C-alpha cells in the first residue's frame, strides 16, 4: 500500500498507539491541526524532501472534513484527491479523526478506502480489558497473571489512557525483572494517590468543600493527571449508585455484595452516602461528559475538573 494512512476512532490513546507504530524511528515529523490548518499546507509539505535521510512523516490531526461534522476551513479536496491518485510519494502522510464514524457518502472518503491504508481503532470492551492488559505486557516482554491483572485493573480503573500510562510506568519501574506481581502494583502506584482519591470521594459525598480542595491540592502536588482522577471517581461513584439501586431489591449487605462480587464492607460504606439515586446518576453523567470534553480537546483538563468541583 501507499504511504498514506487514515486512522479514526473514539479513543485518542489508541490512535496515538497506531501513530507511534507508523512513526517508528523517523526523526523528521511535522504535525498539522486540520481544524485550523488547510490540507493544502500539509500536502505542500508532503511534497518537500526531508532534511534528514529517509522519509518525512506528516500528520494531519482532526481531519473532520472526512466526517459529517461541519468544517469552517476551506480545504482543497481536489488537491487531496490528486495526491491520493499519485503513486510516487516521497514521504508518509497520516490523517487522524477522533470520531467513531466517517461520512461514507463523501467521494473523498471512498477514495481513501480505495487508495490508502484506512485503520479503525475499536474501543476496547470492558470484558476484554484483562486480556488486553496481559497482551500489552506480553508485547513488551513482560508477564502478568490473571489474578494480578484483575488487581491492577481494580486499582487503576477502566480508562484505557490511564491503563496504558500505568503499564508504561510499571515497565520503567521493573527494568529487567519481567514478572509483574501484586507487590509491584502496590509499590509503583502511589499510596498517597489512593488515600487522596478516597478522601476526595468522601469529601464529594459529604459536600465538604474544604476537604475536597485540600485533597485536590495534594493530588496536584503529586502531579496526578485529572483524567486518572476522573476515571477513579467515576468508578467509585458508579459503584455507590449500583449499591443504592440494589438496596431497593435486597435487604442485606451480603446479598448485594454477592451480586456485585465485592466485600460486604464496601457495600456498608456505600450505603452511608447521603446522595439520592438521581444525584449519583447526575454526577456519573457529568464525569463522563467531562472526560469526553477533555479528551476531545473541548476543555482544559485542569480548568475543566476545577469547574466540575466548584459546581458540586
Please tell me which residue, 164 or 109, carries the higher pLDDT value.
Answer: 109
Give the pLDDT confidence of 210-269 residue by residue, as tens digits: 888 888 887 876 677 888 889 889 988 999 999 999 998 888 989 998 898 877 877 888
Is the Cβ–Cβ distance between 33 and 61 less than 8 Å? yes
**DSSP state letters, 125-157:** PGGGHHHHHHHHHHHTT-B--HHHHHHHHHHH-
**What does pLDDT average to over the chain?**
87
> Could you give the maximum distance between any two Cα atoms of the chain, in Å?
72
Report which of 307, 275, 272, 274 is spatially closest to residue 289, judged by C-alpha positions: 307
Question: Within 10 A of 107 (CB to CB), how many other CB atoms are there?
Answer: 9
Q: Which of 60-74, 79-93, 181-195, 279-293 bottoms out in mean pLDDT, i.e. has the lowest?
A: 181-195
| Cut 0.75: pTM above it | no
Q: Is the pLDDT of residue 191 over 60?
A: no
Cα separations in angstroms, 263 against 246, 247, 256: 15, 15, 9
- CA 159 – CA 161 distance, rounded (Å): 5
Is the Cβ–Cβ distance between 199 and 232 less than 8 Å? no
What average pLDDT does this structure show over 16-33? 89
Provide the pLDDT for residue 134. 94
Amino acid at each position: 500500500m501507499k504511504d498514506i494512512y487514515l486512522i479514526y476512532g473514539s479513543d485518542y490513546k489508541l490512535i496515538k498507539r497506531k501513530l507511534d507504530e507508523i512513526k517508528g524511528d523517523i526523526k523528521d515529523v511535522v504535525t498539522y491541526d486540520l481544524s485550523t490548518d488547510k490540507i493544502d499546507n500539509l500536502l505542500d509539505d508532503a511534497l518537500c524532501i526531508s532534511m534528514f535521510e529517509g522519509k518525512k512523516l506528516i500528520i494531519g490531526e482532526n481531519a473532520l472534513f472526512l466526517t459529517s461534522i461541519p468544517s469552517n476551513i476551506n480545504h482543497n479536496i481536489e488537491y487531496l484527491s490528486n495526491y491520493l491518485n499519485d503513486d510516487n510519494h516521497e514521504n508518509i502522510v497520516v490523517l487522524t479523526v477522533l470520531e467513531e464514524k466517517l461520512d461514507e457518502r463523501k467521494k473523498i472518503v471512498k477514495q481513501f478506502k480505495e487508495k490508502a491504508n484506512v485503520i479503525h481503532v475499536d474501543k476496547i470492551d470492558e470484558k476484554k480489558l484483562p486480556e488486553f492488559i496481559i497482551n500489552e505486557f506480553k508485547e513488551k516482554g513482560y508477564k502478568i497473571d490473571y489474578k494480578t491483572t484483575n488487581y491492577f485493573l481494580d486499582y487503576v480503573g477502566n480508562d484505557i489512557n490511564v491503563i496504558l500510562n500505568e503499564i508504561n510506568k510499571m515497565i520503567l519501574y521493573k527494568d529487567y525483572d519481567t514478572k509483574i506481581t501484586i507487590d509491584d502494583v502496590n509499590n509503583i502506584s502511589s499510596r498517597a494517590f489512593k488515600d487522596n482519591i478516597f478522601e476526595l470521594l468522601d469529601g464529594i459525598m459529604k459536600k465538604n468543600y474544604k476537604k475536597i480542595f485540600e485533597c485536590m491540592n495534594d493530588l496536584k502536588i503529586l502531579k496526578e493527571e485529572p483524567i486518572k482522577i476522573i476515571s477513579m471517581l467515576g468508578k467509585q461513584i458508579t459503584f455507590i449508585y449500583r449499591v443504592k439501586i440494589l438496596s431497593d431489591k435486597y435487604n442485606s449487605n451480603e446479598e448485594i455484595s454477592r451480586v456485585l462480587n465485592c466485600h460486604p464492607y464496601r457495600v456498608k460504606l456505600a450505603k452511608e452516602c447521603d446522595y439520592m439515586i438521581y444525584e449519583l446518576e447526575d454526577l456519573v453523567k457529568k464525569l463522563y461528559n467531562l472526560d469526553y470534553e477533555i479528551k476531545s480537546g473541548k476543555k482544559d483538563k485542569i480548568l475543566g475538573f476545577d469547574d466540575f468541583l466548584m459546581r458540586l
